[in-house]
Amino acid sequence: MTRRTLETLSFDNTYARLPQAFYARLNPTPFSAPPYLIHADRAAAGLVDLDPAQLMRPEFPALFGGSALATGMEPLAMLYSGHQFGVYVPQLGDGRAILLGEATNERGERWDLHLKGAGMTPFSRDGDGRAVLRSTIREYLCCTAMRGLGIPTTQALCLVGSDDKVYREQVETGAMLVRMAPSHVRFGTFEVFYYRKQHEHLKTLADYIIDQHFLPLRDAGDKYARFFVEVLERTAKLIAQWQAVGWAHGVMNTDNMSILGLTMDYGPYGFMDDYDAGFICNHSDHNGRYAFNQQPYIGLWNLSCLAQALLPLAEKDALKAGLEIYQPLFEREYLTLMRKKFGLVAEQAEDDELIRDFLGLLQGSHADYTIVFRELSTFSTVDGATNEQLREHFLNRDRFDEWAVRYRERLRHECNHDDERRGRMNRVNPRYVLRNYLAQTAIEKAQNKDFSEIDRLFTLLQDPFTDQQGMEAYALPPPNWGKHLAVSCSS
């Protein structure tokens, strides 16, 4: 593979070839104070064949901090609309982000480079177009965490800081983050042209996305309906992964839903500490619309909005038929993932009840979701084993004992050997997740120009399934101050 320099990165912008109605052309607004590199992801750089040595050049934070442009970049802010908390908002768009262009690697793969915090755009409404250090650190680290967990996600190339002041609930320092994805098109990108009755643009957008990312559908007679089903399948599988790992997005508006089935727009997200099916990670979500246990339903609701937007292109009955496969597909995918978490290989009719009863025990005991599932791998099927260490997590020990009898019988039924099963379970139940208090600790240090905790978490989260020497504290439950941190959309 040819390692590219900043000067030889290959940039284009196929989105800029679309009609002017799709975007507004403008350059990033540089910080007034010189930008500096806080952290960069070598793996993300490798996606565009960029030599890791280039990350250390002084030109790097200038290029990816809004102060310079590379050859071939055609910066633009993308237009979209969307349903926010169930209410349609006619125009949203990139209010603080700019699509710099597409970098192409030697394999011909295109990656959008999207600069967040790049300044005001025509879609900023009353915002200042900036991002704060706090929010960019949370997104940067969670992109790494999700990739480590094997969950589809946008990537983050780098985090660039500045001494510029940004005003939120309090005065904070500004930062920029370069987000990477094969496409940043959202459900809301389709909605805006549907509700504006610009059906020619809707068709142009659908054809563009199919040609770029769903090429086998290009010549199908029912390509738009089949495209919708592909998006639906990716979305259902993505949300099943969120549920299995105990992660809540926080703001599942249709403008935050990737057409490629990627996790995107990290704001008030949260990995659960104590298991709570009704976990709300966004303190602005007063009615719990985006609570953890609502995410599968909201995924379907959002897909119905996308289906509505595709009505001018596809048969209504075909779109309805697509929506009907969502729930069984989600449930099947979720059960498959949960069986793996429990170390089960074969499918049994009673598995759903066995899993639900265990989650009920977690809920009633306020037990830590990540820790208990990791410890479940130590469960012994030997006669007379009490599994005392695992048992200690539950308040109602008698109920746990009753469940443990059923679990032991289930494991024995498929001749599961404890040691082999333990290895399998530890490959799907993480030892470490990005708890909110860990991110907050990194933020507080970074606000004093100490970026060591960002680097430590970045390294840890790339391999969350392996016990890492000296990192035992990162696998413990949060301290009391870190259990119920308020996280909002500005986070």
Give the model confidence (pLDDT) of 316-332 as tens digits: 999 999 999 999 999 99
pLDDT, residue 490, reads 59
89 has a pLDDT exceeding 90: yes
Using one digit for the tens of pLDDT, what is the confidence trace for 430-455? 999 999 999 999 999 999 999 999 99
116 Cβ neighbours under 8 A, 6+ residues apart: 96, 97, 131, 136, 139, 176, 177, 178, 179
Residue 429 placed within a domain: no
The helix/strand/coil state of 292 is helix
Mean pLDDT across 181-200: 98
Tokens 């496969």: give the residue.
325
Percent of the chain whose pLDDT exceeds 90: 91
Are residues 159 and 289 both part of a single domain? Answer: no
**Structural domain contains residue 418:** no
Q: Are residues 26 and 164 in the same domain?
A: yes
Residue 83, domain extent: 11-184
Domain boundary at 285, 301, 336, which?
336
Amino acid at 158: C
Q: Please identify, among 140, 164, 184, the residue that sits at the C-terminal boundary of a domain.
A: 184
Contacts for 50 with CB less than 8 Å, ≥ 6 apart? 3, 4, 5, 6, 9
Same domain, 232 and 156: no
CB atoms within 10 A of CB 147: 21
Flag whether pLDDT at 400 surpasses 80.
Answer: yes
pLDDT above 80: residue 1: no
**Is 17 within the bounds of a domain?**
yes
> Do 213 and 106 reside in the same domain of the chain?
no
Q: Does residue 463 lie within any of the structural domains?
A: no
Query: Amino acid identity, residue 135?
Result: S
Average pLDDT over residues 178-186: 98
Residues 22 and 165 in one domain: yes
Residues 174 and 245 in one domain: no
Asked if residue 155 and residue 30 are part of one domain, the reply reads yes
Picking from 303, 336, 369, the residue at the C-terminal end of a domain is 336
Whether 201 and 169 share a structural domain: no
The angle that helices 316-324 and 326-341 make with each other, rounded to 10 degrees, is: 20
Question: Helix 452-461 to helix 436-446 angle, to the nearest 10 degrees?
Answer: 150
Q: Are residues 177 and 240 in the same domain?
A: no
Mean pLDDT (whole number) for 151-178 = 94
Residue 384 in domain: no
pLDDT attached to residue 168: 85
Considering only 124-138, 286-300, 437-451, which range has the smallest mean pLDDT?
Answer: 124-138
135 shares its domain with 172 = yes
The answer to whether position 326 is within a domain reads yes
Which of 400, 397, 361 shows the shortest CA–CA distance to 274? 361
Question: Is 159 within the bounds of a domain?
Answer: yes
pLDDT interval class at 489 (50, 70, 90): low
**Annotated catalytic, 317?**
no
Q: Are residues 149 and 221 located together in one domain of the fold?
A: no
- Asked if 132 and 200 sit in the same domain, the reply is no
Residue 386 pLDDT: 87
State residue 82 phi and psi, 5-degree precision.
160, 165
pLDDT at 33: 87
CA distance 42 to 183: 20
Marked catalytic residue, from 41, 49, 94, 255: 255
Q: Indicate whether 455 belongs to any domain.
A: no
Query: What are the E-state strand segments in 27-125?
Result: 36-40, 76-78, 82-84, 87-89, 97-104, 110-116
Mean pLDDT lowest among 18-22, 168-172, 174-178, 452-456: 168-172
* Domain count across the chain: 2
SS3 316: helix
Report the chain's mean pLDDT, rounded to a whole number.
95
